Amino acid sequence: MASDKIRVLIVDDIAETRENVRKLLQFESDVDVAGVARSGREGIQLAQELDPDVILMDINMPDIDGITATEEIRLKSPHIQVVILSVQGDQNYMRRAMLAGARDFLTKPPMGDELISAIRRAGQMSHVERMKGAKQLGASSVSGGPASMANFAPPSRGKIVTIYSPKGGTGSTTLAVNLAIALNNEDTRTVLVDGNLQFGDVAVFLNEQGKNTILDLAPRVDELEPDVVEDILIKHDASGVRILAAPQRPEMAEKVSAEQFSKVLQFLQGMYAYVVVDTSPILTDVILATIDISDVIVLVTTQEIPAIKNCRLVLDLLTTMGVNKGRVVFAMNRYDKRIAITPDRVSENLKHEVSVVIPFDEKVVITAVNRGVPFMLDGNKMQPVGRGIFSLAEAIRARLSTLEVETETAIKR
């Protein structure tokens, strides 16, 4: 490579914005403004000619809008990372931008520091993606070779899958841990994040307590790099799943802000195909922010009336938050067919289909927790409770593809 600088293309129809951004960047020794484009169409063209590492993209432009342009550019050149700059603080735009493959989303006018760290993060990802491309083009099959940065990046942006239950003890952690194991394979590497920052027990379920935690990442959230993150994540050898554990003591939870937590999740999305997040029933800012950026929310109930009532409240709240209900996979855990409250009745009552049912099996579930060996790792995965987890994984994959088709259609419109 001629230089190690991050080559940036600015796409904006307003001359003043282009100039301001250029000025913000001119004293950064590691950033080089390779070009400017005045419209989405010109942006697509220059992206091909200049092959920049990072594009700063406006949304509203006269010919082709920034989201469509992002999608086209990412389709042709997946290594190019797009940072959206928009006056629209609208979450809806943000989600669409992310689904179109944008790496980051900043509100105009961006603060200098914020912009530069977003460019550095994106530059790093671009570098990783280029290495991966080079590796794929290189000598025949390299799979099974030594781990390298290239192994970190999924082919497209990973998906955030959050497990949430508004009632304690319904089995969020059990589902999150076992789901992460079911989703994780060579093609879809998975990281499991403990979002129950006060009393998180994900690491205990996997017998990996006492190691690094989110506290090792949160303070440096603006300077993350894949190899540093990979070092901090706990590697669960038996399954290959990576874990980002919660702080070791409840009083440390407040050291992690919602913004830091979301940024960590978004960074992990660049490295893993699935980011599975366990949560606590209390809707802290961290959990609200997580729900907001999740691709799929697994809402967990049991057959108990208080749990069902709380799920109803959550579904209402999601509507108020503007979250598309299509993102909610409603699951019933601890299902016992002897109890008269059936998934169908709950679906009807809450006007949201219970799409997955995981049966009650105290023996398998409690033994697994106490051994620190999830049931999806042994023969019990073929038991009804294990099959329930497989169907949850399947329901999530199906939902993600439906959502993707819907977004594509919406963007083309």
Ligand X SMILES: Nc1ncnc2c1ncn2[C@@H]1O[C@H](COP(=O)(O)OP(=O)(O)OP(=O)(O)O)[C@@H](O)[C@H]1O
Q: How far apart are CB 368 and ligand X at their closest, in Å?
A: 8
Amino acid letter, residue 265: L
Q: How far apart are CB 248 and ligand X at their closest, in Å?
A: 16
- Helix residue ranges, H only, 272-331: 285-293, 305-321
Integer Cα distance of 185 and 403 in angstroms: 22
* DSSP helix/strand/coil, 305: helix
How many chain residues bind ligand X (CB under 6 A)? 21
Q: Which is nearer to ligand X, 66 or 388 (CB)?
A: 388
Q: Long-range pairs for 309-315 at CB < 8 Å and ≥24 separation?
A: 310/165, 310/166, 310/167, 310/281, 311/166, 311/350, 312/349, 312/350, 313/166, 314/164, 314/166, 315/350, 315/352
Integer Cα distance of 288 and 258 in angstroms: 8
Q: Which does 155 bind (CB under 5 to 8 A by kind): Mg ion, ligand X, none?
A: none
Q: Which does 358 bind (CB under 5 to 8 A by kind): Mg ion, ligand X, none?
A: ligand X
Query: Tokens for 305?
Result: 């009336």
Q: Does 170 bind ligand X (CB under 6 A)?
A: yes
Q: How far apart are CB 376 and ligand X at their closest, in Å?
A: 12
Integer Cα distance of 142 and 40 in angstroms: 37
Stretch that binds ligand X, among 29-37, 46-54, 88-96, 165-173 (CB under 6 A): 165-173
Q: Which is nearer to ligand X, 35 or 359 (CB)?
A: 359
> Residue 190 belongs to what H/E stretch?
strand 190-194
Beta bridge partners of 161: 276, 296
Q: Which does 84 bind (CB under 5 to 8 A by kind): ligand X, Mg ion, none?
A: none
Stretch that binds ligand X, among 57-65, 128-136, 163-171, 375-383 (CB under 6 A): 163-171
Q: How far apart are CB 411 and ligand X at their closest, in Å?
A: 36
Residue choice 151, 173, 178, 184 for contact with Mg ion (CB under 5 A) = 173
Q: Which is nearer to ligand X, 294 or 407 (CB)?
A: 294
Integer Cα distance of 13 and 40 in angstroms: 8
Tokens 């540093």, residue located? 228
Q: How far apart are CB 78 and ligand X at their closest, in Å?
A: 36
Q: How far apart are CB 281 and ligand X at their closest, in Å?
A: 6
Q: How far apart are CB 367 and Mg ion at their closest, in Å?
A: 18
Integer Cα distance of 366 and 370 in angstroms: 6
Q: Does 165 bind ligand X (CB under 6 A)?
A: yes
Stretch that binds ligand X, among 40-48, 123-131, 256-264, 355-363 (CB under 6 A): 355-363
Q: Does 333 bind ligand X (CB under 6 A)?
A: yes
Integer Cα distance of 65 and 44 in angstroms: 11
Stretch that binds ligand X, among 143-151, 307-315, 343-351, 354-362 (CB under 6 A): 354-362
Q: How far apart are CB 51 and ligand X at their closest, in Å?
A: 47
DSSP 28: -
Integer Cα distance of 212 and 395 in angstroms: 32
| Sheet with 190-194, side-by-side order of all strands | 234-235, 242-244, 190-194, 274-278, 159-164, 296-301, 328-335, 354-359
Residue choice 168, 240, 306, 322 for contact with ligand X (CB under 6 A) = 168
Q: Does 385 bind ligand X (CB under 6 A)?
A: yes
Contact flags string 179-218 toward ligand X, x per CB under 6 A: -----------------x----------------------
Q: Which does 310 bind (CB under 5 to 8 A by kind): ligand X, Mg ion, none?
A: none
In whole angstroms, how large is the CA radius of gyration of the chain?
A: 22
Q: Is residue 80 within 8 Å of residue 126, measured between CB atoms?
A: yes
Q: Which does 333 bind (CB under 5 to 8 A by kind): Mg ion, ligand X, none?
A: ligand X
Stretch that binds ligand X, among 171-179, 248-256, 337-345, 405-413 (CB under 6 A): 171-179
Q: Does 171 bind ligand X (CB under 6 A)?
A: yes
Kindly provide the b/e burial profile for residues 225-263, where b requires at least 16 CB atoms within 10 angstroms of the residue's own CB.
bbeebbebbbebeebebbbbbbbeeeeebeebeeebbbb
Q: Does 334 bind ligand X (CB under 6 A)?
A: yes
Q: Which does 174 bind (CB under 5 to 8 A by kind): ligand X, Mg ion, none?
A: ligand X
Residues that bind Mg ion (CB under 5 A): 172-173
Residues that bind ligand X (CB under 6 A): 165, 168-174, 196, 280-281, 333-334, 358, 360-362, 365-366, 369, 385
